[in-house]
Amino acid sequence: LNTDGNKNQIIREVLEEICQYFGFGCSFVYTMDHKANFNLYEAYRTYKDFDHLQNTIRLQELLGEEDYHEFCRKTIIATGTSEQNTTMETKLTDLFKAQSIVVIPINGKGNAIQAFLGIADRRSRHRQGDQDIRFAYSLLAVIANYIKTIISQWQSEGNMRTLSSVLNNTGVDVYLTDCYTDEVLYRNESMAKRYGGEENVIGKKCWEVMLEDKTCACDFCPRNRLIDENQEPTEVYIWNLHNE
């Protein structure tokens, strides 16, 4: 998981190893979309004719409100042991058409579920059941944290796309500078276009970009006006400048 490369392929290879080690028929990762559907993100099937994995699952509808909340609260769900299954566990085994299953819900902020992963349909038992469950949980928990990082990256990228869309349609130039170095870190599309492209803006000093005759920071730079003498945030600072 620490190697560079295609994340899907990495997860697929790890799922394959876990699946084979524990003697299960399949392993899978489902991620939730904005409509609360769980979509199959990645999977490994031991057998080519294993078609028990649905591409999209409406888990809340399939489990029902009460069992769904129970599912979300669990750190691990393991069936196929000697204990009698709960109704939620029975519904899961029916969903995956499996006699045994191990599932880990993946929760994000506010403990809201974002995804789940698991292994299902055990073919053989190589080791003691209780030891297997604890070890499986340890391994799957590592993958769960890896997937949580991927989901967090998706969300950040989505937020950035939304913010960029807003800033690109304001009708004004917008740029962001490093408070200590004056280097431009971000620009919207109109800003880049005005100064001949991103390569002429990003990484440059803001005063180098906009004022060709400047050799140092501008006198009116707002950087020194961000906080007052009491180290408190100041009011809005506005200045006028005619740029040739």
- Phi and psi at residue 101, to the nearest 5°: -155, 145
Burial of 59-70, coded b for 16+ CB within 10 Å and e otherwise, reads bbeebeeebbeb
Note the pLDDT tens digit of each residue in 1-22.
888 888 888 898 999 998 888 8
pLDDT computed for residue 229 by the predictor: 86
- pLDDT value at residue 59: 93
DSSP state letters, 153-222: HHHHHHHHHHHHHHHTTSSS--EEE-TTT-BEEEE-HHHHHHTTSGGGTTTSBHHHHH-TT-SS--TT-G
Q: How many angstroms separate the CA atoms of 171 and 190, rounded?
A: 8
Output the six-digit token pair for 104: 């880990």
CA distance readout (Å), 7 to 4, 177, 229: 8, 32, 49
Residues 6+ apart with CB under 8 A from 47: 25
- pLDDT tens-digit map of 70-104: 999 999 988 875 567 888 988 998 888 888 889 99
- At position 207, the amino acid (one-letter code) is W
Q: Could you give the CA distance from residue 91 to residue 15 in angstroms, rounded to a whole number?
A: 23
In tens, the pLDDT along 154-188 reads 888 888 889 889 999 988 999 999 988 999 999 99
Give the pLDDT band of residue 192 (cuts 50, 70, 90): very high
Give residue 190's identity as a one-letter amino acid code: S
Place of tokens 């974002």: 114
What pTM, to 2 d.p., does this model score? 0.69
